[in-house]
Each structure stands twice: as structure tokens, then as C-alpha cells.
Amino acid sequence: MRINQIQDEIIEEFGAFDAWMDKYEYIIELGKKLPLIDPAHKVDGNLIRGCQSRVWLRAELNDGALRFTADSDAVITKGIIALLVRVLAGQKPEEVASANLYFIDAIGLREHLSSTRANGLVSMVAELKRIGGEYSGARH
Amino acid sequence: MSFDVEAVRAQFPILHRRVNGGELVYLDNGASSQKPQRVIDEVARYYREFNSNIHRGVHHLSQQATEAYEHARETVRAHINAEHAREVLFTGGTTHGINLVASAWGRRHLSRGDEVLVTAMEHHSNIVPWQLICEERGAKLRVLPVNRAGELVMDELEKLLTARTRMVALAHVSNSLGTINPVARVIEMAHARGAAVLVDGAQAAPHLQLDVRELGADFYAFSGHKVFAPTGIGALYGKLELLEDMPPYQGGGEMIERVTFDKTTFADLPHKFEAGTPNIAGGIGLGAALHWFGELDADAVAAHEQDLLAYATGRLKEIERLSIIGTARDKACVISFVLEGAHPSDVGALLNQQGVAVRTGHHCTQPLMDFYGISGTVRASFALYNNRADADALAAGVARAAKMLA
């Protein structure tokens, strides 16, 4: 599926909930489906800077598509990274680098996060896009 | 006199706003307190009626502003029972006050091999300024340990107070744990060894009756914004002879007597330590806040807060997997806790969603978190305007979060 198709799918899923507590419940559920990073790669070099909780992220290029594994010690954060990974995994590096992640605002995620968490979200998005840019640069 | 919490709540306009669909339950008072209407009005009145620079003005507004600002200083003096108004310096807050002492007193009194003693429960603001001056002067920083309950290990104090101890710097009330430290006893022991004592009163000011003379403190620092006053203002008390002996901290206007390019002589206390145009509105607001606070029956306030502490602690203890961090016998109305298997920031996010404002993280006490072997806690810190309904909302919110995060 293309990036925007997945984003629209997520927006639809979140549209089914009225209360934000239910959305949080769903985010926590999604976190459980996150492709987990190999514990051997849970090293400081794979930590994303700027998050209140610890977030590890690792990327690999397989047949021209990016795969991500990640983890966090906070389950809401884990759910948020799972959402981002769901949108961007399996996509070409240049598509990851240039993706417009409109679902974040559309589901109201940013406004519901504390400022420290919102900064963490910005850091996660920036890191995913940086990885996309790095791999597309390497191929050209 | 007694204490009517609902009548007090009615004076705080912000407590009536709604957050995330529910009435605000504000339990982040350890970070900053809310302001009563009277303080908001007094600050507005200053800007509306007599805003102008103080001390050097010859015109009416300046005289009125100067009078109000110096009246506020007198209010602070009376509130903490200092002997002289010139022993009260206006600062930007507790951090500023501690840095002032560490820098100005430290330059005068610390030499190579001297020791500064802090405690393991200090806020970073009462650690880092001392580390900086110790490094500069070749002095050593030593640490008084705490026990698992979050109390100072007083038996160790005797050993740690050496012939080289020049300063003991400690919190009156721990911001992370709520522990009320036996400050008077520490001061007595430190003085017996010839050491001075600085008390970080940031968390004590909104909860305890302050009396610097009864305590015998050499320096006592606190922040306005935690005691119902505006942000960016605080006070530092220092004993007259110590302040007179200290070199200035910052240079500028207001703090001089006579300036020539060869030599500058400095103004008398308190102006020697108040360079530049001060936070005039803040000072007036601090005076108004302490005046407002002082009108309440302090014993009844303390009884109300202790009742809340016991009630909220009991409600939280009903929740499975919840451990309270900081179980000292003598506590202010602050409850830090962890939920087994849950990250504090997740608990905080889910509480926020339910309209309950708490703080999560290390609370600027990383060495203390290291001691407990945790990365942080969820901290609910109460003020006099909180009630049992707030404690119920907290407990219900935490119980729901615990279920979701299990």
C-alpha cells in the first residue's frame, strides 16, 4: 500500500473513537504490534534524541524498501512509533524522505501530547525522514 | 479560625476552567502554584496605576512604585520573621538565590580543601551551583545520604561535618518526596562545627510557617511562584553580617554608591545585590501573595493539608502494583509514586487526558532517582486549595491508567 493510503486508513480507524481515552487504548494496542528491535541493537547509537522516554529505532534496506524495527520503555510512545512505522515501512527511501505525514494532525495526535512528548514525536519523524534521505542518497 | 477549602478555591479563577472535558484537577503545585484573584489584581493595579522605575525617580509614580516595592520587602521580612528588611533580597527565584550565595559567599569563604555538604535528595538547583563554585575554589562537595523512606541519615551527619565543612546546603522540604527535613537540628549541628547553612525553602514556603530566626538559618531561599505569587520573583534571606561581608554578585545600576573608572563603591544592603531594574510587578505580587497567605489560619491550613495527604495516600495505596516513593514520617502534601511495569510519562499522559495535572520524570533530582534505581516517578503535589475530590479524581485516574497499561 502507498503511504497516503495507509494514512487514510489510520485516519478512518481513529474516526471510530469519540473519546481520547479510547484512542489511547488503541495506540497502546498498536504498540504491541510494533516490529521489535533485536535486543542486541538496543544500544545508545540507536536511541532517538529528544524523547522523554527511551526510543530505539533501527532501519534496514531490503529489495529497495525500508524496514524498521523499534522499541520504547513507554507504551504510548511505542504505539506512536508503531503508527509511524506502519505508514513508512516497506516504502522506498525517497518516499520516506519526502512523505507528508498529515495523519498526525488529522487524528489530533500532536495536540493531545504534552509538549515534551510532542517534541519527541517531531524527533521521531525527523529521524525516520533522515534515514529515508540517507538511504536514497546512498543508492544514487 | 478555621479553614474553608471551598471558600479558598473560589478565590482562584483558574481552578474553575475545564481541561479535556472535565474540571481541572491541578496537582502540580510543586512545580508552580496557582494565583488568587487578589494577587492577579495587585499586579494589574501596579501596571494600571503606578508602573514606573523605582528608587531613583523624583516623580510621583516612581515614589508610589518604590513604596509598594519596599512595602512588599517588609511583608516578606515579617512573613519569614527576619530581623531587618535589608536582610531580604529580591531574586528571580530560589535558583537565583542559591547561585547568588554559592558565588558571592563561596568566593569569600571557600578555599582549597574546604567542604560543602549537600544531601542526596537535593534539587539540581542546590547541587550544581555548589559543584561550580567548589570546582572554582578547589573545594570538595560531600553528600549526606538518605534512607529508603526518604529521610536524611542523621547519624551520618555527625561524621560528615568535619573541620573543613564551610557550608551545609539542604532542602527544607524535598520536591520529589515531600520529606520535611529536620532543618533546625541540622543547623544546630552545623553551627557547632562552625559551618554556615543555606536552606532551599522552595517547597516549604507554600506549606510551612517560616521563621528564619527560630531555625537559625544563615541563608533561606524561596520562589514566589510556588507560594501563590507571580513567576520570576523570589526572595533570599541572609544574616546581616554575612550579607555585608559578601562581595557583590552582579554589577550594574542600582547596586552602586559611586562609580568612577578607577574605583566603584557599592550601595548598602539590600541594593548591593540587586543590580539592574528589578521585577517590580513580581515583588509587589509576592508581597500581596504572602499577605493573602498570612491572613489564613496557618494551623488550620496545615491540618487540612495533612488530612489530604493521609486521605490521598490511602486512596492510592488501594491500587495494585503502585508503590509510593518517599514514606518519611514527616511529609508535606506531596506524593511520588511508580506503577510497576508502567512508564511515568504514560501514567501522566493518561491522567492529563482525564483532566488531572501531575508531573512525571526525575523532578530535577537525578541522584535521588539513581538511589532508588528508577528513572522517575509520577508526582502529585497538593496545595491548600486542593480538596478530597481532587484526591478521588487522582486515584480514579491512576486506577484507570493502571488497568490500561497493565
Same domain, B355 and B232: no
Kindly report the nearest CA distance between residue B284 and chain A, in angstroms. Answer: 31
Q: How confident is the model at residue A113 (pLDDT cuts 50, 70, 90)?
A: confident
Same domain, B158 and B205: yes
Tell me what percent of the residues of chain A surpass a pLDDT of 70.
96
Grid cell of A111 as nine digits? 495536540
* Whole-number pLDDT of residue A78: 94
Task: Tell me the residue ranges of DSSP E strands in B3-139.
Answer: 18-19, 22-23, 25-26, 88-91, 115-119
Domain termination residue (choose one: B227, B261, B294)? B294
Kindly report the nearest CA distance between residue B396 and chain A, in angstroms. Answer: 14
Residue-number span of the structural domain to which B177 is assigned: 41-294
Kindly report the nearest CA distance between residue A113 and chain B, in angstroms. Answer: 7
Q: Is B405 on the interface with A (CB under 8 A)?
A: yes
Q: Which residues of A53-64 are buried (b: 16+ CB within 10 A; e: fewer)?
A: bbbbbbbebeee
Chain A residues closer than 8 Å to B342 by CB: 75
- From the options 3.40.50.740, 3.40.50.12160, 3.90.1010.10, 1.10.1200.10, give the CATH code of A3-139: 3.90.1010.10
* Whole-number pLDDT of residue B20: 81
Same domain, B302 and B287: no
Residue B292 to residue B303: CA distance in whole angstroms:
18
Chain A residues closer than 8 Å to B348 by CB: 114
Q: Catalytic residue among B364, B393, B401, B402, which? A: B364
Q: Is residue B306 in a domain?
A: yes
Q: Is residue B256 in a domain?
A: yes
DSSP code, position B328 = -
Same domain, B394 and B338: yes
Same domain, B225 and B117: yes
Chain B residues closer than 8 Å to A29 by CB: none
Q: Write out residues in chain B with pLDDT < 50, as ranges.
A: none
Per the prediction, chain B carries an average pLDDT of 96
Residue B396 to residue B314: CA distance in whole angstroms:
13
Q: B354 φ, ψ to 5°? A: -100, 15
Q: Is residue B36 in a domain?
A: no
Chain A residues closer than 8 Å to B20 by CB: 20
For chain A, the farthest-separated pair of C-alpha atoms sits apart, in whole angstroms, at 46
Domain termination residue (choose one: B250, B279, B294)? B294
Same domain, B124 and B92: yes
Q: Give me the numbers of helices (H) and strands (E) for chain A, helices first please.
A: 7, 2
- First-residue to last-residue Cα distance in chain B: 47
Q: How confident is the model at residue A51 (pLDDT cuts 50, 70, 90)?
A: low
Same domain, B230 and B259: yes
Contact present, A74 and A117 (Cβ < 8 Å):
no
Q: Is residue B241 in a domain?
A: yes
The CATH number of whichever domain residue B327 belongs to comes to: 3.90.1150.10
Q: Residue B343: which of A20, A25, A53 has the nearest Cβ?
A: A53
- First-residue to last-residue Cα distance in chain A: 24
Q: Residue B345: which of A21, A52, A112 has the nearest Cβ?
A: A52
Mean pLDDT of A56-81: 94
Same domain, B302 and B246: no
Element (H, E) at B197: strand B196-200
Cross-strand bridge partners of residue B293: none
Same domain, B232 and B282: yes
- Dihedral class, residue B319 (left if φ above 0, else alpha if ψ from -120 to 50, else beta): beta
Test A75 with B405 for CB contact under 8 angstroms.
yes
- Burial of B156 from C-beta contacts in 10 A (0-12 / 13-18 / 19+): middle
Q: Which residues of A touch B (CB under 8 A)?
A: 20-21, 24-25, 28, 52-53, 73-77, 112-114, 116-117
Q: Is B62 on the interface with A (CB under 8 A)?
A: no
Element (H, E) at B337: strand B334-339
ipTM given for this complex:
0.88
The CATH number of whichever domain residue B290 belongs to comes to: 3.40.640.10
* Whole-number pLDDT of residue B367: 97
Same domain, B186 and B312: no
Helices (H), B222-378: 240-245, 280-294, 298-317, 344-353, 366-372
Kindly report the nearest CA distance between residue A96 and chain B, in angstroms. Answer: 28
Same domain, B257 and B381: no
Q: What is the CA radius of gyration of chain B?
A: 22
Q: Residue B343: which of A21, A75, A112 has the nearest Cβ?
A: A75
CA distances, B405 to each of A25, B347, B359 (Å): 9, 8, 18
What residue segments make up the domains of chain A, in order of their start?
Answer: 3-139
Q: Is B358 on the interface with A (CB under 8 A)?
A: no
The catalytic site residues of A sit at 51
Q: What is the CA radius of gyration of chain A?
A: 14
- Burial of B399 from C-beta contacts in 10 A (0-12 / 13-18 / 19+): middle
Structural domains in chain B (count)? 2
Same domain, B106 and B248: yes
